[in-house]
Amino acid sequence: MSDRTFVDTNVLIYAHDVDAKAKHEIAKRVLSELWSERSGAMSLQVLQEFYVNVTQKIKAPLSRSAAREVVRDYAPWVESPITPATVVRASEIGEIWQLAFWDGMILAAAEQSRAGRLLTEDLSHGAQIAGIEIVDPFR
């Protein structure tokens, strides 16, 4: 693994959801640091989930055009394609670590991106899953 940090959807959403208050500020700072270090990574799944959630599900939704710009901005962070092998690995991760399939997909994509850390609030902070350290930036 490496110094790369994979960003889960919730962190990206909080960075653009002004109603998230403290989480908004933390997420903005963390993403800014990853930009500066050139160490951020994410997957197509993250960008898809981000777009749907920020245009339809947050209290003050972004316009579709603003959400598209965010997707364009973060596109360089997506370096590994999702393939059938990614789906198979996600199912293995889910089975071994007793996780939902979509969490397995995030971890499989992080692993495929050679990330050493996953920023998320959806998994147990400090856990090691598939060789990836889980970090909740909001703790």
What is the pLDDT at residue 80?
A: 87
Vertex 10 angle, CA 100 and 74, to 5°? 115
Q: 50-101: per-residue pLDDT in tens?
A: 999 999 999 999 999 999 999 999 999 999 899 999 999 999 999 999 999 9
* Nearest alpha-carbon partner for 134 in 1, 38, 5, 3: 5
**Residues in CB range of 13: below 8 A, 6 or more apart:** 20, 27, 50, 53, 54, 58
**Residues in CB range of 35: below 8 A, 6 or more apart:** none
Q: Is the pLDDT of residue 136 over 80?
A: yes
| pTM of the entire predicted model | 0.95
Q: Is the pLDDT of residue 29 over 70?
A: yes
Q: Could you tell me the two tokens for 126?
A: 């400090």
The domain ranges of the chain are 4-135
Q: Is the pLDDT of residue 1 over 60?
A: no
In words, the CATH class of domain 4-135 is: alpha beta
DSSP secondary structure code for residue 77 in this structure: G
Q: How far apart are CA 68 and CA 92, in angstroms?
A: 32
